[in-house]
Structure 1
């Protein structure tokens, strides 16, 4: 087996890069400290970014082939490795590398190559938010990550929807993220509308994993007094009745979250000192 060092060196050689990408992405769990090696070796991150930028022209009109998708997703898998590692995470963020992935999240084609591209890109962002770090959340909020996640939550595959909803959940669980979403009525209702639509879709095609993230998002929103007040009328009836009883039968944690959410919403005070979201919209 080739060493990690040898394969990383080969990334800088255009003739050897495709195979090196494949081998490194397949064996990235086996190589210890691959992330610092990728980050600190000469020209490697530039080579990975070159792979990403090279497929921008086939995004619109959508002409991405399966081979192109597989190759760039191997590069993204290595970037996820860098995003996950404690020694390279903030370096990765401070270099604004996530922004290179946003054009992929902006695509709407539902073909398999594009779906795989979006899912792998979301995996990189998911790796960043997995560790609770306000600095990461603040960076992401300074970009267009919320609208991009909301788009995927509306039109992606079940797996992509799940990862995008997980990212929104992790943003909301940080106080900075909750404040950001609940600062304006427009932001709150944008998130609430997408979550509501997803609940409606899940009644037709249940997914306990996706439902778990949606309920956790609603529960966290209910920690904000104005949002909680708006959820009195905005929480889907399907979460209040027995629509998802079967889906959640085995999931005690999510059942508890749902009960807590309903308790929070039912106990919300109508008259808020600063006025609710409806008051903000009228102003």
Structure 2
């Protein structure tokens, strides 16, 4: 399966948003661990400029310090939790204050943001830090046990196309996408599908930007790449037709683009190929064939992408099969 390039779901939106001067301050080129710890501490500073400066610096350097996710999650001044029962979490006051930056944006997600307080940029940077947390297995598991994904689903469900809100959708999708970066954790897949993650990708596919659509399909692709995810998506007809409908909507979207997105197309072909490993899904695909993959609609994309062409040939091969045992990696 194709891996989504990092640039498609991490920092590319920053280049499209004008940063305020307070956030565009000079950043130390090579901070040490003491500076990272200081910036984490500054996240709880009551001075907005200090908070924003620390937040911006942490997002810029988050890939250079593997300890950062643990600092954000485990240190006493950022987050602590007590799990008393599933979906019942007690947060420290400091963590509540940190999460309030995301909660504050919820009332604004039903309409365009015209304020000049740069709230959307602050929340976007916080989302980048959460992407860092969900990337690492140790903090990812803590994230899932705390049911943290429910904070991000509302941002994925934004029902407007304002660019500033779209960057929040992209950031929230990125939090989920980072959980599924290879090697994909089957436990994370099971947890996401059981909390309706796929349904929360719908708005991105329906009204989101090309970037949002690509990240949403990356999530679907990685879920389908595991036996657990594929079983979930194919065990009931309604689930199969839901996924098939989203994928066909995206194929149609590609035909409207002057320059169709190769990454999006590659992921779509990969999704259909994964579906074709299930006999029940194969029958559905034969009956409701994604015709555009088999005529010359995307000939130029297939010619330029050998991986997509290989997946398409595998799809054709699977659809030509009679009822046969499933491949071992997709055991029911």
Fold in common (TM above 0.5): yes
Counterpart in 1 of 2:169?
118
- Pairing 1:25–2:74 present: no
User: How far has the Cα of 1:65 moved from its partner?
Assistant: 4.5
Give the secondary structure class of the aligned counterpart of 1:145: coil
Q: Hey, what's the Cα distance between the residues in 2 that align with 1:114 and 1:161?
A: 15
Q: Hey, what's the Cα distance between the residues in 2 that align with 1:29 and 1:267?
A: 45
Q: 1:99 aligns with which of 125, 137, 150?
A: 150
Please say which of residues 200-209 and 100-109 is displaced more in the overlay: 200-209
Counterpart in 2 of 1:52?
102
Question: Deviations along 1:250-273, whole A, 9 cap, x unmatched?
Answer: 211110110110121133449xxx
- Pairing 1:4–2:36 present: yes
Extract unaligned runs of 5+ from structure 2: 1-27, 80-94, 325-332
User: How far has the Cα of 1:151 moved from its partner?
Assistant: 2.7
Maintained 8 Å contact 1:232/1:268: no
Q: Hey, what's the Cα distance between the residues in 2 that align with 1:200 and 1:30?
A: 40
Q: Hey, what's the Cα distance between the residues in 1 that align with 2:222 and 2:278?
A: 16
Question: Deviations along 1:205-230, whole A, 9 cap, x unmatched?
Answer: 22211011011110001111011011
Report the CA distance shift for 1:212/1:236 in structure 2 as closer, same or farther (over 3 A). Answer: same
Q: 2:304 aligns with which of 246, 250, 259?
A: 250
Question: Deviations along 1:123-144, whole A, 9 cap, x unmatched?
Answer: 1100001131111011111212
Maintained 8 Å contact 2:112/2:162: no
Q: Hey, what's the Cα distance between the residues in 2 that align with 1:107 and 1:128?
A: 21
- Pairing 1:232–2:232 present: no
Counterpart in 2 of 1:277?
none
Q: Hey, what's the Cα distance between the residues in 2 that align with 1:134 and 1:253?
A: 24
Counterpart in 1 of 2:232?
180
TM-score of the two chains, using structure 2 as the length reference: 0.77
Q: Hey, what's the Cα distance between the residues in 1 that align with 2:306 and 2:294?
A: 16
Counterpart in 1 of 2:136?
85
Maintained 8 Å contact 1:221/1:227: yes
User: How far has the Cα of 1:169 moved from its partner?
Assistant: 0.8
Give the secondary structure class of the aligned counterpart of 1:87: helix
Number of residue pairs the alignment of both structures matches = 270
User: How far has the Cα of 1:191 moved from its partner?
Assistant: 0.8
Maintained 8 Å contact 1:65/1:113: no
Extract unaligned runs of 5+ from structure 1: 271-283
Please say which of residues 166-175 and 38-47 is displaced more in the overlay: 38-47
Maintained 8 Å contact 2:158/2:203: no
Q: Hey, what's the Cα distance between the residues in 2 that align with 1:150 and 1:4?
A: 37
Question: Deviations along 1:58-114, whole A, 9 cap, x unmatched?
Answer: 223443657111110111111111111233111111111111001101111111111
Larger relative contact order, structure 1 or 2 (CA cutoff 8 Å, min sep 6): 2
Counterpart in 1 of 2:193?
141
Maintained 8 Å contact 1:24/1:78: yes
Q: Hey, what's the Cα distance between the residues in 1 that align with 2:321 and 2:69?
A: 48
In angstroms, what is the RMSD of aligned CA positions? 1.8
- Pairing 1:191–2:223 present: no
